[in-house]
Structures are given as C-alpha cells and as structure tokens.
Amino acid sequence: MQRRLIVIGLTAAIHWPAGAQLSTQREEPLRDHTPRVHALIGATLHIAPGKVIANGVLVLKDGRVAAAGPAASTPVPKGARVWKLDGKSVYAGFIDLASSVGLPANARARAAALPFSPGGPPSTPQRAEDMKAPGPRGLSSSNRSVRADFDVAANLEFRADEVKAARELGFTSVLAAPQAGILRGQSALLNTADRPDTKSLVVAPRVAQHAANEAERGFTGSQYPNSMMGAIALLRQSMLDARWHRGALEAYRANPSLERPEPNATLEALTPVLLGRQPVIYAADGEQDFQRIGKVRDEFGLNVIAQGNGYEYRRRDHLKSLAMPVIVPVNFPAPPEVETPDQALDVQLEQLQHWEQAPSNPSLLASAGIEFALTAHGMTQPSREFWNNVRLAVRRGLTADRALAALTTTPAKLIGLQRQLGTLEPGRIANVVVASADLFATEGAEVELAFVDGRPHPTTAAERIDVRGTWRVGDAQWSIGGTKLQPALTIDGAACDIAMRGRQMVVSIPCKKDAAARSTIVAELIADTLTGSLEGATAAPVPWRATRIAAFRDSARPATADVLPAPAAVYPAGTYGIAPPARPAAVLVKNATLWTSGPAGKLAKADLLVRDGRISAVGKSLSAPGAIEIDATGKHVTPGLIDAHSHTAANGGLNESTSSVSAEVRVADVLDATAISMYRQLAGGTTAANVMHGSANTIGGQTQTVKFRWGLDAEGLKVQGALPGIKFALGENVKQSNAATETTRYPQTRMGVEQVIRDAFSAAKGYQRQWADWRATPKTPGAVVAEPRRDLQLEALVELLEKKRAVHIHSYRADEILMFARVAKELGIPVATFQHVLEGYKVADAIRDIGAGGSSFSDWWAYKMEVWDAIPWNGAIMHNAGVLTTFNSDSDELARRLNTEAAKAVRYGNVPESEALKFVTLNAAKQLGIDKQTGSLETGKDADFVIWSADPLSPLARAEQTWIDGRKYFDLKDDARMQDEAAKEKARLVAKALPARLARLRASTVAGSGGRGAGPAAPEAPPSDVRTLLAYFAAQRALHQLNHVRGEYWNGGEWLECTGEGR
Amino acid sequence: MLSATMALASPNIPPPPQSTPLLLTGATLHTVSGASIANGEMLIDKGRIVALGAPGSAKAPANAQRIDLSGKHVYPGFIAANTAIGLAEVSAVRATLDQVETGPSNPNSRALVAVNADSEIIPVTRANGVLAALAVPRSGVGGGIGGTSALIQLDGWTWEDMGLVREAGLHVILPAMRFGTAMTPTLSAARIEEMQRTSAQRLRALDDTFDTARAYARAAEAGEIATPDARLEAMRPVFSGQRKVFVHADDLPQIRHALGFAERHGVNIVIVGGYDAPHVAPLLKARGIPVIVGGVHRLPLRRNESPDTPNTIAAKLHRAGVAFAIARNGAASDAARERSLPFEAAATVAYGLPREEALKSITLYPAQILGAADRLGSLEAGKLASFFVADGDPLEIRTNIERVFIQGREIVLEDKQTKLRDKYREKYRQLGITK
C-alpha cells in the first residue's frame, strides 16, 4: 500500500504544463494561429477501460479534452474542425513505457552486452567501439555502467521515423527509457508529435531511474563488472554509496571543518530513488531475474516497476507475491526450427512450450492479478506484429478492457501521470487514437489518425483507400473483395488486374486475358464514389463513375477465442519440470546395506527411518506403522553425495574477472533453478554442492552452499546455516599464465599473488578499525555525524578476520599452498578448504596444522604445468596425514558420479571403503559447515540419502532414488515416465509448430531472405572472414569452459561444438 | 622369484625382446574371444601367445619360466581407440602439443612420427592395463583433415618400435553443423548465418578435396603424375581401399553427412564420436559402418535427453547389431585421462550393455576396427603376448592391476607418479605422521 501512496505523491510533485502552448519558444512571422478545436463525431468512444459510448462526440480544445459524451447530449462547438468517424473506434492515446524514441546513441542497448538468457534482447558479440561510450564525465561515476545522473530529457535526439513509427501504432506518449548499463539514468515521457521544439514534446522529465543486472562480457578489455553477480554487487554498492554520500554531505554542511566529501552527481541522482520518490524501472533478464530484482528492491526500500521479457507467466505466482507491476512485451517468439527431424531433435521442449504459451502471457498475468502495462519493446517489425499480437493475446483470454488498460490507464498510473493521460475524460491531454475498427477484436483494424497534444497526425493507413464493397457501375454491379492493399475483383469469371496507386484505383478491362482491345479505368475514391476516366489505347478518355451501394463484409472467419489450458504448475519448464515433491510424514527403507558415513559404519540388512524430513532411526528391524515402506533388499543406501567444488546452477558468469579482488560478488545473487545439471546430478546421487566463484582472480567471490531441490526456485536451493564461504585462487589462473594473449593485470607471479592477499587484508583491517572507532565515538544528540562509507568488498574480508566466513582456495603447487597456509595463520583467517590442492600430498602437514581441509580431483593431471606433479594418491596421502579430505568434481559431468570418484581413494592408496565414501559425503559436509544437518545417516540429520542398485563404489551401480529433506527428488521410474510424457508433449508441439514454421519459411523465401535456420546458405554467398569467425569460436569455447555464458535453460552440455572436438 | 627378464627391467626402460618362454599358471584366463579358462595355463614365446588352455595342456619347453598366478586374472591389454597419447603432454602448454597441424587439410600428416616415446603419460596409462592406443591427428577449430593415425603399443625405445599399425586411418573431422536456437539462444541471426556459411564452406572444401584426390589417384595409377603432390599422394590408399577414413562425427547432422560422404566418395568409413549414432543404427548396420563411441563419461548433448543418454549409446548400438568400440574423446586434454578407459566401458553395464560386451568394447572390438585383430584384442594363440594380471575384474575401480606384459616382456609398473608417491610417503614417515 505504501508503494502506491508514494506514486501518488510523485504525481503531485510534477508541475510541468502538459500542453505545448505555454512555451517560451521565440516565434517568427508568420505566426501559426491554426485553431485547435476538433470535434470527433460518429465513432465509438472508449473513454476509459469499461466505459464505452457508441456514437459519441469528443471535443478537443487547445491540447486538452474539452468534452466527451453521447452525440445526443454533447454539442459540437461552432468553429470546430469536425471529423466524421462513423464506424471508427476512438481511444485515449496509448503509452509505451519501454521506448527508445528520443534516446541518444549512447543510451541505447549496447551491442557489447550479451543477454544471459533467451529472454534478453538480441545481441551481437562485443566490438571495441561499443565498449568505449560513454566514458566518465565531470562529476559522474567513473564506471560507465553506473549513469544514474544521465538525464534523457537533457539529451534528446529524435529520429523522425521512430517518432512516426510509435505514433502509427497508436503510441502518442512514450517513455524514452535508457537501455545501457546497470543504473542507466532517468527517462523522459514524450509525446510523439511532429514538432520542431523538442521541449514541447516532453510531458515529464526524470520520470524513473532505469536499472538492469547487465554486465560487460568477455575477459579482456571489459570494465567491472563482467558478470551478473558483479552487476548486482555494483548496484548494491552504488545504493549504499548514495545513502552514505547524502549523509556525508549533510554532515559537512553542518560542520565545514570535516574533510570535504567529493561532489558526485551520479550518487546525488539516486536520492529520489532512495527516498522512494522516483520509481525504478528494472529490466529483467530471464524469468528468474524478477526474484533478484525483488530482493534488491526490498533491501533498499525502492519503488520498482519490472520491465519484463515475456516469460513472466512462468513466475506469476512469485510476481504476485512480490506485488511488483511489470511492463510486458508482446514480441511473441517465432515458431522454433522443427522442419527437419534433426532440428526437431535439438529444439528443447521448453522452447516449444514457450512458443505456444507466450501469447497467453498477458492473459495469465491478468488472471493472477498482476498489474501490467504492455509495450512494443523488443519487436523487430512492430508495424506488422504489434496489433496482431495484442489481438492474439486477447484471443488467448485477455479481456479487451484489460488490454486497453495495459496501454493507457495502467502505464499512466505507474508513472504517476494518471491525471494527465490514459483516458478521454475532460481535462486530460488531448492524446487520442482513431482506429478503423475495434483494435482489440477486429483483425486488420489499424490506427488511422492520432491526435497528439490536440494536433491531428494522420497515419499511413489513413492514406490508403479501401475500395472494397459492392459498386454500381452503370448497369452492372461489381463486388470488390480481397484485402485493403490488394483488392480483388472478378468479372464474368475472370480475375481483373486491379491495383492501388495512392488514392487511385487502376483497373484494366475487360478482365478476360485474351481480350484484344484493352481499356484502363483510373478512378479516385471520394466518400462512396469512384470518379475518374476510362481510357483506351487509342480512344479519347471518357468520364467514368461508380457508386458504392453496400459496404464490404469480411467473410473471413471472425476471430475466435483460443484460450489454452494454463501451463502445468511445475518448475522449471520443459522436460523434468516437477511440482515441489511432497514430504511424507514417515518413510522406512528396509533391508538395505546402509553406508552411514557415521560412527555406525556400514550396516548390512539394516533399516532407515525418516520422519518429517529428518532421520529418525538407523538400525535393524525397525518398524513404523503408517510409514511409506521401501523394500531395499539387495540395495545399498548412502548419504546424499556432496560436491565440495561446483559451478552448477548459476547464471551470468561465475568469474568477476575484471579485477584481482572481487570479494563483494555473491553467487547467492545469481543461482539458477532451471539448471538441468541439478537434475542430472540427482540422477547420480549428488544432493548438495558448494557453488563457487571461478578462479580468475586472487580473491574471488562469495560462495553459496545449495541442495539440489529441483522444482523449487533459486531461493529454495539455498542451505540455511551453512558456513559462509569465499573463493580465493592462486597460481596460473590468477597470473593469467595460460591466457591466449599476454596480459599485464597484477599479479603475474606467485610473488605478486601473496602481495594481493596481504594488501587486501591490510585494507580490511583499516576498514575494521575505522568502523570500530566510529562505533566507539560518543554521539552527541542532535549532531549531524556521517557514518563511514560501507565497502562491501572489505566487509567480506572483515568477516574472514572475524571468523564469520571461511576461505576455499583454489591452489595447486606446494609452494603456494604453503604460502597461503602461513599467511592465513598469520592473519587468523579460517580456511575451509584448499581446492584442487593437487600437490597437497607434498605439504599435507601444513594444511593439517591450520585445520584446513583438502578438496581434490581424484586422478586428474597434466592439463597445465602446475598440475604436472599431480598424483592420484593425493587424497589418500592427505587423508593419512590427518587432513580432512574430499574428492570434488568442478564439473557438471564428473559431479554425476562422485561415488566412483570415492572408489579411487581405495584404488590409489587403500583408504578403507567407508572412509573413502566420506570423501564425498561427511567430509564434504564438514568442509561446508553443514555436517550438523547432513553428510551422514545419523539420527536427527536431514533425510538426504540415495538408494543404489549395487555397491556404490562400483561403476556398475546406479542411483535409483535420491532424497533430500525427506522428499524424493529423483526416481528412475519417474524419470522414465517423465521422458515418455515429455516425448509425447514434444511431438504434439512439433506437429503444431510445423505449419507455422513452414509458412514463415515460405514467407521469408518470398521476401528474399533465408531467415534463421532456413536451410543451407546460398553457395554464392561471399566468403566470410573465416579467421575472425574461428577466433570467435575459440573465444566462445574458452568462455564456456570457464562457465561464463550460462543463461537460464542452458542445455547443460556443449554450448557449441565449434571445435569439432565433441566437447 | 624374479625372472631374468624382470631383473633386467627398470622403470621406463623398455625391456629386451622376450628370450625365454614363459608359462603362466593358476590364473583365470579371460580370453575375451571365447570362454574364460579357470585355473588356466598360457605359454608365451618370442612375444606371442603360443598356447592356452587347461592345466597341462600347453606343451611348455624345458627352459620355460613358470609364473604362478594362482587366484589372479589375466586379460588382454586394453586398447584406447581415440587418443592424443604420444602427441600431447600438458594441454595448456603449446610447446608440448603435436596433435593439430595448422590449416584445414593435412592428409599427409603422420601421427606416428610425432609420438614421443618418453611421454610421461605412457607409463601412467599402461599401469591401468591400457597397453595400446590410437594416436589421432586432428584438425583445428572448424574441422578438416587431420592426418593419418597410428596404433601404438605403450612401450618401446622409439615410435618405430611402438608402431603396431603405422597408418591406421585417415581422420576427417567434421565442422559443427547444429546451429538451432537450442544451441545458440543468445546469438543474433546474422551471426548464426555466418557460422552456418563457414560450416558449409568447410564441408564443400572437404568434398572438393576428396574429388580431386580420387582423380589424382587414378592419374597416378595411370602413371600420369609428373610431380607428386604431398597431400593428394597421402590420400591414394583411401581410394584403393587400403585405408579407412575415420570420420569424427558426433551429432545427427554430422553422422548423416558422414554417411552421404562415404557414399559419394566410395570410401570405407568409421564413425568416431557417434553420440547420435543410435538414431541411425539400422543405416550403420546395413552399410557395415563401425562406430568408435567417443566417450561414456560425457554430458547429454540436449537438455531434453535422459541423464543416462551417453551411458546407453553402446548398448543401443550393440542391440542394433552395429560394430562398435568404446573410447574417450581424444582431445589433447584427455591424453592424461586415458587410464580411466576401463571405467568408461564399465559405465555402460548398468545401462544395458552386457558385461562381456563392455570388456570386448575396449579389447577385441577396437582391435578389429583398427585392423589389428590378428595381433591384439584377445588371448589367443598367435596373438601378441600383451596382457595384464589383475586381482579381480578390471572394470571395477577397486581392482588392482598387478603386472603388465607387452610382447611377452614384463613392464615394471613404476612411473613419474609412483616415484612422487613414494618420495612423499617417506616425508610423512620421517615426520612420524604415518608409519
């Protein structure tokens, strides 16, 4: 409720005149005194959603609506220019809240910014020149992605064709919304009139701040941030800085003897946002971004309108719970490529489902009670697609009133201009749309006329005449059908050549093609009369005239409702989406070989009892009346396997690789509940993982421990109570030794790596002291005192100093492992694990001495120089030397078979089998600080367990069921059933998509362009720059290997097998 | 008792040719080609298996040295049919890589001559029972003709000693051919079209090369070539039917292309990779085209697919009657992981491939596909005595490979890694941390 009030408050604060006449523009003779009184009569007036007047009169005067009412009771002023609009529909001008009209080039979507998800904007790989603009200016932030002070109204650049295109769709007002960066700047609401004075078009400047979790992509040449988690961290830090800066300035003003804070226009521009006075329009990249946006909103108490991407329906329950309005596009996807079996095989079920459901998105949002506005944003051909798509949405169940509201009253209200715009009530700005028929119901209805600030702007559609209907031509009758642009006339069974030339119709007669002597009729339409001449090749022209005696009646099938069943309540979309599994009150697993990983060891023919999600008993001959009983005779049961090194289930890049220290970035911000890898790992018995930042920098980002609760959303994956972690890294990756081209980023040596760590902690200690001092300083009541600036990067390091967080450090060589062991001891920071630690066997005593764990590959080696001395006995030697040891995956593939990784500790080093299994269960739980909850089959712990077909250390075993928190997330039997159902659903959708796809291909062939996936390229195509392309393939492959480009619904495997290496 | 052979042997030093006949007794002989022989006897001489059978069946000469292997299991050495072994050492260090020649067309490259006999990967790999490997030359990004592969045994002073089949096959690597939105959700249409065009260009170039080479081969037969062309000369055996073309093709469009390619050019092919091969298994069977499955431990190609799809490829091919072998992906980074080959094969057994088929898929079947079945792949009289002794089923990770013989010479199982292991075990003994 509070949010609404704030919006209303904003309205009251805006005092700019709505009309253009109150202008300081100097006028030169001759001055324009065109009267600005218009009366629109005879049309159906849609005053507001749900308020319709058939045969109404609308009077516009001096740029505002003067009167609107039934013809009978609404006088037409004398002197008004009268527009007879019988049969037409009249609406309040439409409003698009996500427009690029008026934007200067440097505020438009950056080609450099690849979207993370299919829902994102179309893009091309980065080009150097795109990365340059805009640079820091004057008092603005030095980071080019933070441009909160960028004011569109002060930087307008109109392109006449864009203004016209928007108006022709009926958008008489558009929000010029900046589209580049993270905090993108402030939008302006513009009227789409053709006026030379740009100021007169601005209805309101600085309407909203615009934001997005947008990162610069690529590893070289990009500026901070180049990951989605970096983008969120930067936005968070910017908000904190703005809050701090305000306080610091206030304190300085009160006490000029304080040290002077810098003036900072960017931070100052965020004040209205922080005070909730200016809304933030926050663009969502993918369906899961709404959740991230909601969290940022709540953290800073912002007033947020989400800019959506068409996938909202999949998260409609969540959006409803957020009570966050959304600006929704109607750029429904083209049918997927299904014309060959090979292509149909590649198309994901999720894509097909989205193709089918996308037009139902607005309707589903309406049914869910979500407030939304519609936008033409993201369309490649809005003039062709926009109204067809809106009508399609209506056929899918969106009411015409709701659709009208989404284009008028809702957007007006969202930006607090509901008293100026959105209806045809008297006093509103005279923005009016006249359409040939009901735009929301009648196929082919189009906008013919728009009034903007009370000035008429006819559209191209109005210039095209419609000659269809029944005509009296002398004694004959003609019946002209077809379409408006291509009328059809048949006389005596022969189709006539009939063409439209501007306002003229040209017909060649007689229509029979074999006629010798031909004549041509050229006639112009005036009301219902065609007047012109009939000309023979040699004869003199004679006058010709025809009268329309009946209007054209479209015999085409009227648009019928086509409401689909709502998509199933499963998550994620596509194959294997499930509803959150139920938690039975009690489950009893009988007669299994239990590998407890606890003090009980391995129990033959034993039972496991689960109550309310927790292990209630482990032992022989248990009984529990009413429990769901699973006969596991001959089976083996282990704790759920835990992967201490994972990069599964995160979106938008796992390396914030632009700087050597990025402690502020958080994997928690970017979890991905659609990652198919989670399901695949459940099928291999893995239930929990340490999802980490990559190893591109010495001090990476904050880790997140998750359980693979498939079917839940990103927040549902998090394990509460885990030891917070942070990723550090040493060696070749942070030195960038294996980069394709030489780099100069500090550090380039292992000497430098140590210094980066010492430097960071030196700063952290200073920061810690600064805050301690401030807290200790007595505060005089009433005095204005500025808090120290909060620095999220240093805060994370202080948490280490205060032992509230622990380090997971990527490391290989003995020298660097020893170095960090010594530095950590000196600094007193907890080390949870040395990761990879392939030379851990050389310095196991040093690792053990600081209480750190070792988390290793079982037998990988020789992939780079620092793993040349890796040996498969590493795990056993560390274990025997007293190091808490695990085997991990660091790989979505290896993570599916951690059980056989554990077996390698037996093969290489004779670790007892039960101890070996702990390498992937209890020991990992300890390293992640979740051993109180999971990691072994012990009474009181979470019921995270796996039922195996055979001895789990054998490669011949497979997981049959995988349970987390007493809920079954994987079952081989369900897997087969879901495969089957998905195959049927896919077959249905392929059959449905095929005709649409083929029609599209035919159309694009006619239009002369192959279109995406339209078949092999034409052989005569000019040779592309193969070298550039191959370099691009190689770069993309490298990015993939570093887990950098994963978006939602990532196919989970190869991104592109461009290398021919099949990997 | 140490044999004379063994006394001479040292780590990483190739032993001399077998001079004394050996008689192995007491072990279960897993012949692979036939029934296993419990408590069997195997006579080895001059590097070859002379006889095997029930106790006393082999007529061992008087000077034969007897090795008692009671309770042990003997298997023919595993054959890794798609590797970078010998051609790649440390995949991140360019100086150690010799697998990929520059340019898309290198039919004249010969893997054999670049095999580094002192690669540290070789002793590590054979310690797990992998005793022969196909060294495969590949092309760079975008596909092409990599060159001629060589089947090597994992012991020898030089590549000349190691070469078992010196020119095994001509390797053609197809470019990426799937460009749908499923693979490229965030790429622009223009970019996709550009990639498609590049791929199509490469495929046309490949066809053109083969057309040219066939004409050249005919001209050469007719004695009409004045100055030989290195590339085209290297392709002649393909057209005379002496050499197979190994087409690296993983997904359905690539495999379909490979089938058409074989038909168009009239060459015998082997599919390497074969992820989607089950989709066209009847076609492969009808045309007698074998598949070297390029990895079991790999991710499904498509989100929709069952998590176990890669594990089921071999079983599906087997059921359809397609000849197959199981290998790994063969990239440079994979050379050091070839020692896990038996576990890749093992990972098909719970997914429908009979256990004995899994064993054949890394012994007899690759020997057949690579043209070495007369010497390798099973324990049969006349074949090379290249085998290992294990304390159990070698598909099981926990089984230990205890002894290895290559051409009748016992190889000491020590390598770079065991030396480091022993060195640092000593450290903790000295520190009193372990006993």
pLDDT digits (tens, 9 = 90+) for B366-389: 999 999 999 999 999 999 999 999
The pLDDT, as a whole number, for residue A1062 is: 30
3-state SS of A821-890? HHHHHHHCCCEEEEEECCCHHHCHHHHHHCCCEEEECCCCCCCCHHHCCCCCCHHHHHHHCCCEEEECCC
Q: What band does B11 get if pLDDT is binned at 50, 70 and 90? A: low
Q: Is B48 on the interface with A (CB under 8 A)?
A: no
Q: Is B95 on the interface with A (CB under 8 A)?
A: no
Residue A406 sits in the same domain as residue A489 = no
- Residue B326, CA distances (Å) to A500, A639, B319, B348, B362 in order: 68, 32, 15, 10, 6
A955 contacts on B by Cβ (under 8 Å)? 343, 346-347, 349-350, 395-397
First to last CA, chain A: 53
Chosen from B83, B178, B397, B399 to mutate, greatest number of chain A CBs within 10 A: B397
Out of B182, B200, B346, whose CB is closest to A346? B182
Question: H or E segment at A992?
Answer: helix A972-1006
Q: Is A977 on the interface with B (CB under 8 A)?
A: no
The pLDDT, as a whole number, for residue A113 is: 44
Residue A302 sits in the same domain as residue A164 = yes
Please name the residue of chain B whose CA is at the shortest distance from the CA of residue A977.
Answer: B306
The pLDDT, as a whole number, for residue B186 is: 63
Please name the residue of chain A whose CA is at the shortest distance from the CA of residue B395.
Answer: A955
Subunit contact A1026:B337, Cβ cutoff 8 A? no
Subunit contact A844:B174, Cβ cutoff 8 A? no
| CATH number of residue A197's parent domain | 3.20.20.140
For tokens 């959506």, name the residue. A308
Type of residue at B82: N
Instruction: Count CA within 13 A, CB hemisphere, residue A10.
Output: 27
ipTM of the complex: 0.96
Check for a shared fold between B1-77+377-435 and B78-376.
no
CB A746, CB A660: distance < 8 Å? yes
Subunit contact A979:B420, Cβ cutoff 8 A? no
Please check whether residue A372 lies inside any domain of the structure. yes
Please check whether residue A479 lies inside any domain of the structure. yes
CB B376, CB B386: distance < 8 Å? yes
Residue A176 sits in the same domain as residue A278 = yes
Contact residues, A window 984-1003, toward B, CB-based 8 Å cutoff:
986
B423/chain A closest Cα distance in angstroms: 9
- Tokens representing A637? 């049961």
For tokens 């421990």, name the residue. A705
A116 contacts on B by Cβ (under 8 Å)? 186
Please check whether residue A936 lies inside any domain of the structure. no
- Tokens representing A529? 């009369």
Strand partners, A667: none
Subunit contact A1016:B182, Cβ cutoff 8 A? no
Query: Based on C-alpha coordinates, what's the Rg of chain B?
Result: 23
CB B209, CB B145: distance < 8 Å? yes
A326/chain B closest Cα distance in angstroms: 23
CATH architecture for segment(s) B1-77+377-435 = Roll (2.30)
A727/chain B closest Cα distance in angstroms: 23
Subunit contact A982:B304, Cβ cutoff 8 A? yes
Subunit contact A1059:B141, Cβ cutoff 8 A? yes
| Structural class in CATH, domain B78-376 | alpha beta
The pLDDT, as a whole number, for residue A111 is: 53
B321/chain A closest Cα distance in angstroms: 23
The pLDDT, as a whole number, for residue A1021 is: 31
A740 contacts on B by Cβ (under 8 Å)? none
Please check whether residue A232 lies inside any domain of the structure. yes
Residue B386 makes CB contacts below 8 A (sequence gap 6+) with B76, B77, B131, B132, B153, B376, B405, B406, B407
CB B217, CB B236: distance < 8 Å? yes
Judged by DSSP in three states, B46 sits in coil
Residue A282 sits in the same domain as residue A397 = yes
Subunit contact B303:A955, Cβ cutoff 8 A? no
Give chain A's residues under pLDDT 70: 1-21, 110-137, 217-222, 554-559, 1005-1046, 1052-1063
A711/chain B closest Cα distance in angstroms: 15
The pLDDT, as a whole number, for residue A196 is: 78
Q: Is B231 on the interface with A (CB under 8 A)?
A: no
Please name the residue of chain B whose CA is at the shortest distance from the CA of residue A814.
Answer: B424
Contact residues, B window 55-74, toward A, CB-based 8 Å cutoff:
none
Q: Where are the domains positioned within chain B?
A: 1-77+377-435, 78-376
In whole angstroms, give the CA distance from residue A343 to residue B251.
11
In whole angstroms, give the CA distance from residue B423 to residue B418.
8
Q: Is A358 on the interface with B (CB under 8 A)?
A: no
Residue B205 makes CB contacts below 8 A (sequence gap 6+) with B104, B105
- Residue A931, CA distances (Å) to A669, A722, A935, A942, B332 in order: 24, 9, 6, 10, 39
B417 contacts on A by Cβ (under 8 Å)? 861, 871-873
Contact residues, B window 312-351, toward A, CB-based 8 Å cutoff:
329-331, 333, 335-337, 339-340, 343, 346-347, 349-351
Type of residue at A620: K
User: Tens digits of per-residue pLDDT, B136-151?
Assistant: 999 887 899 999 999 9
Single out the residue in A519, A551, A583 at which a domain terminates.
A551
In whole angstroms, give the CA distance from residue A507 to residue A519.
8
Q: A with B: how many residue pairs have Cβ under 8 Å apart? A: 276
| φ, ψ at A15 (rounded to 5°) | -120, 10
pTM: 0.92
Residue A370 sits in the same domain as residue A477 = no
Contact residues, A window 184-223, toward B, CB-based 8 Å cutoff:
none
Please check whether residue A153 lies inside any domain of the structure. yes
Residue B108 burial (10 A CB sphere; 0-12, 13-18, 19+): middle
In whole angstroms, give the CA distance from residue A724 to residue A704.
7
Report the C-alpha dihedral over residues B59, B64, B68, B74, rounded to 10 degrees: -70
User: Tens digits of per-residue pLDDT, A692-749?
Assistant: 999 989 999 999 999 999 999 999 999 999 999 999 999 999 998 887 778 888 999 9
In whole angstroms, give the CA distance from residue A329 to residue A110.
19
In whole angstroms, give the CA distance from residue A67 to residue B171.
81
Subunit contact B349:A956, Cβ cutoff 8 A? yes
- Residue A44, CA distances (Å) to A48, A582, B141, B384 in order: 12, 54, 64, 95
- Tokens representing A971? 């079952």
Q: Is A828 on the interface with B (CB under 8 A)?
A: no
Subunit contact A907:B91, Cβ cutoff 8 A? no
- Tokens representing A684? 């291999």
| φ, ψ at A960 (rounded to 5°) | -100, -35
Please name the residue of chain B whose CA is at the shortest distance from the CA of residue A121.
Answer: B186
Phi-psi region of B205 (alpha: psi -120 to 50; beta: other; left: phi over 0): alpha
Subunit contact B200:A975, Cβ cutoff 8 A? no
Exposure string for B164-185, b = 16+ CB within 10 A, e = fewer: bbbbbbbbbbbbbbbbbbbbbb
Out of B193, B425, B428, whose CB is closest to A1010? B193
Subunit contact B181:A1013, Cβ cutoff 8 A? yes
Residue A474 sits in the same domain as residue A409 = no
Question: H or E segment at A689?
Answer: strand A686-691
| φ, ψ at B4 (rounded to 5°) | -60, -40
A863/chain B closest Cα distance in angstroms: 5
The pLDDT, as a whole number, for residue A896 is: 97
Extended strands (E) in A503-584: 504-509, 519-526, 529-536, 542-551
Subunit contact A348:B182, Cβ cutoff 8 A? yes
Strands A89-92 and A432-435: antiparallel
Contact residues, A window 21-50, toward B, CB-based 8 Å cutoff:
none
Please check whether residue A51 lies inside any domain of the structure. no
Query: Based on C-alpha coordinates, what's the Rg of chain A?
Result: 34
Q: Is B372 on the interface with A (CB under 8 A)?
A: no
Please check whether residue A224 lies inside any domain of the structure. yes
Please check whether residue A845 lies inside any domain of the structure. no
Q: State how many domains chain A has.
A: 2
Strand partners, A96: A174
Q: Is B20 on the interface with A (CB under 8 A)?
A: no
Q: Is A914 on the interface with B (CB under 8 A)?
A: no
Taking residue A998's Cβ as centre, other Cβ atoms within 10 Å add up to: 13
- Which of A347, A319, A72, A551 shows the shortest CA–CA distance to A991? A347
Query: Is a pLDDT exceeding 60 seen at residue B231?
Result: yes
* Residue A490 structural domain: 469-551
Contact residues, B window 197-216, toward A, CB-based 8 Å cutoff:
197-198, 200-201, 204
| φ, ψ at A988 (rounded to 5°) | -60, -45
Subunit contact A343:B184, Cβ cutoff 8 A? no
Residue A294 sits in the same domain as residue A402 = yes
CB A658, CB A233: distance < 8 Å? no
Q: Is B391 on the interface with A (CB under 8 A)?
A: no
Q: Is A572 on the interface with B (CB under 8 A)?
A: no
Query: Is a pLDDT exceeding 60 seen at residue B126?
Result: yes
Please name the residue of chain B whose CA is at the shortest distance from the CA of residue A910.
Answer: B398
